[in-house]
Structure 1
Amino acid sequence: MKLQSIQYFQKNAVMKTLYQTIVLIFCLTTNTIAQTSEAAKSGYAPVNGLKIYYEIHGEGHPLVLVHGSFMTIPANYGQLIPELAKTHKVIALELQGHGRTADIDRPFSYENFADDVAGLLDYLTIEKADFIGYSLGGTITMQTAIAHPEKVGKIIFISSAFKDTGWSSDIQESIANLTVEQFEGTPIQTIYAEVAIDPGNWRDFMSKMIAFEKQPYDLGLSNIKAIPSPILIIKGDYDGVDMTHTMELFGAFGGGGTGMMEPLSPSGLAVIPSTTHITLMEKTEDLLDFIQPFLAVD
């Protein structure tokens, strides 16, 4: 990384946290690519003007994985895929502009992302699937359940928020101050260059994605309450998602009562201790301890 970039991060407490996050993402990427099981099938799906890159691992009930901002399939889910593929047909995709899915002249929006995910399922002739979404992918999964409820079974919502104010003030400040220059020469750029169809599109993609990240959003609590699917919310106790926001979401799915005078909701909430937004995805065994029983319940 460029010296001036390192010095900038070190001088700015908020940006220092972002810098540490970027480095850790790189470590996760290099540690997980080799562990990703060989895809039974991969290809490009013509959906909504895109050629969406996807991979299919394993056999069984369909399970869709939706990654976070700036991520790729192996960077986000490299450790989980081999385990999940033992019992499920895992469908992992790369979103518009990310990884091996080239960008097109269309705005980034939760609505567009969700329609793309639904379109991929149509292309693969999969009527309904369970979903795991991390960070940005969690919000996209929620929007998919709102716009295409017939396609979404169980939802696993990892370290995410259904509105921008659900993130802590520090995270909101970090996002508000993002620039393309902060990412130049970083592992995020390396990840992009390794797999992108057109590595020269780096600055355009980052500018577009950062602008999208800065936009306020709110999927609407009333829309969420209408989702018929059960949800498993997984978060770290230091992951940057406000706990009040998490409990509001849990309550929208019938959770949060005493469990003494009323039946338990089919939805659940898991908080993994001493865990940040990024280190959460390192804790494969902890995640599987919650994910696998939730998916196994009929």
Structure 2
Amino acid sequence: MRALLLGLLAGLVATAAAAQGTPRWMTLPPTPTLPTPVSSGHAPVNGVSIWYATFGSGPPVILLHGGLANSNYWGHQVPELARSHRVIVMDSRGHGRSTRDSQPFGYALMASDVIGLMDFLGIPKAAIVGWSDGAIIGLSLAMNHPDRVARLFAFAANSDPSGVKDVDKSPVFTAFIARAEKEYEALSATPRQYQQFVAEISHMWASQPHWTEADLAKIGVHTWIVDGDHDEAIKRENTEFMARAIPGAGLLLQPEVSHFSMLQAPRQFTEAALLFLERTWD
């Protein structure tokens, strides 16, 4: 554990020095690429086609990306996690290389897609590492499918729309939305529908989830609630509320990063995730 913590500090110093005066939480580094997978393809799930890829071997961990994004955003994390785990990435319905149908976007529906992919791949139970919408999907899984979730690392989730800031005021988030359009056009089976896609995802963000303290208190899965200390999208009080409400949950604030920690400080993010995945509870 000490080696991991020292690695975190080393990564923090090196990245800060490379920033050349620009705070790293104000940067949006390039989207990485995924390494060559052990297997990949499209799974028929809930009437749509879910793209997935798997890497490495060992205890399974599923990485769930944020809204408007795709699995490529995990390109820095996959190689390290795959040294000791079977890593599965998937594009959420309507995102990246996955298709969608006429059903409105919703976190419970997307959580059921994760279960469907697990069934398709023959995975009875897996750890979940989720970012933003992926973290909310992870929380939905922990509430409604606890027998399928080994543990949950939830980065930059919110329990209620009131926990979200006005991201229109953030130049980093604005740049992400513009980048996501180019990625959508390159990956999607419906490349001309990005504006409609954004409108529908924005409606989901404005209306979901609505979890109370009592709802969160039902989670029995080992959970860390994690965020960047400069998150431009999630209110700190909501992050702390979730950590208090979930029994036994850990709270981790990653230093000098924002909503895009896995890009801004990939080593720091990955080592924190590994620390959690290897954590033992007596």
**Structure 2 length as normaliser, TM-score?**
0.82
5+ residue gaps in structure 1?
A: 1-22, 255-264
Match of 1:18 in 2: none
Would you say the 8 A contact 2:106–2:208 is kept in 1? no
- AA in 2 matched with 1:188: A
The structure with higher relative contact order (CA 8 Å, sep 6+) is: 2
Match of 1:137 in 2: 134
Q: Is residue 2:54 matched to residue 1:62?
A: no
Q: Is residue 2:225 matched to residue 1:233?
A: yes
Say which SS state the counterpart of residue 294 (structure 1) adopts: helix
Cα distance in structure 2, aligned partners of 1:80 and 1:55: 14
Cα distance in structure 2, aligned partners of 1:225 and 1:253: 5
Match of 1:250 in 2: 243
Question: Which residues in structure 2 correspond to 1:83-232 (within 5 Å)?
Answer: 83-168=80-165, 170-171=166-167, 186-232=178-224
Moved over 6 A (4+): none
Say which SS state the counterpart of residue 186 (structure 1) adopts: helix
Structure 1 209/243 Cα, relative in aligned 2: closer, same or farther at 3 Å?
closer
Structure 1 residue 282 displacement after superposition: 2.2
Structure 1 residue 206 displacement after superposition: 2.6
1:5-52: per-residue Cα shift (whole Å, max 9, x none)?
xxxxxxxxxxxxxxxxxx955x421xx11xx22110001111110110
- AA in 2 matched with 1:45: A
Match of 2:41 in 1: 43
Match of 1:53 in 2: 51
Cα distance in structure 2, aligned partners of 1:248 and 1:77: 27
Cα distance in structure 1, aligned partners of 2:160 and 2:80: 31
Would you say the 8 A contact 2:65–2:91 is kept in 1? yes
Would you say the 8 A contact 1:230–1:253 is kept in 2? no
Q: Which of 224, 246, 270 is 1:288 aligned to?
A: 270
Would you say the 8 A contact 2:136–2:158 is kept in 1? yes
Structure 1 residue 204 displacement after superposition: 2.9
Structure 1 150/274 Cα, relative in aligned 2: closer, same or farther at 3 Å?
same
Structure 1 residue 290 displacement after superposition: 1.9
Structure 1 247/207 Cα, relative in aligned 2: closer, same or farther at 3 Å?
closer
Q: CA RMSD in A?
A: 2.4
5+ residue gaps in structure 2?
A: 1-25
Structure 1 216/46 Cα, relative in aligned 2: closer, same or farther at 3 Å?
closer
Aligned residues: 252
- AA in 2 matched with 1:222: A
**Structure 1 length as normaliser, TM-score?**
0.78
Structure 1 residue 207 displacement after superposition: 2.7
Match of 2:30 in 1: 28
Cα distance in structure 2, aligned partners of 1:162 and 1:102: 26
- AA in 2 matched with 1:28: P
Higher-Rg structure is 1
Say which SS state the counterpart of residue 87 (structure 1) adopts: coil
Cα distance in structure 2, aligned partners of 1:128 and 1:199: 34
Would you say the 8 A contact 2:76–2:262 is kept in 1? no
- AA in 2 matched with 1:155: L
Cα distance in structure 1, aligned partners of 2:179 and 2:242: 33
Cα distance in structure 1, aligned partners of 2:54 and 2:77: 13
Say which SS state the counterpart of residue 196 (structure 2) adopts: helix
1:199-239: per-residue Cα shift (whole Å, max 9, x none)?
13333323322222222431332222111111112211110
- AA in 2 matched with 1:211: H
Cα distance in structure 2, aligned partners of 1:128 and 1:280: 24
Q: Is residue 2:252 matched to residue 1:270?
A: yes
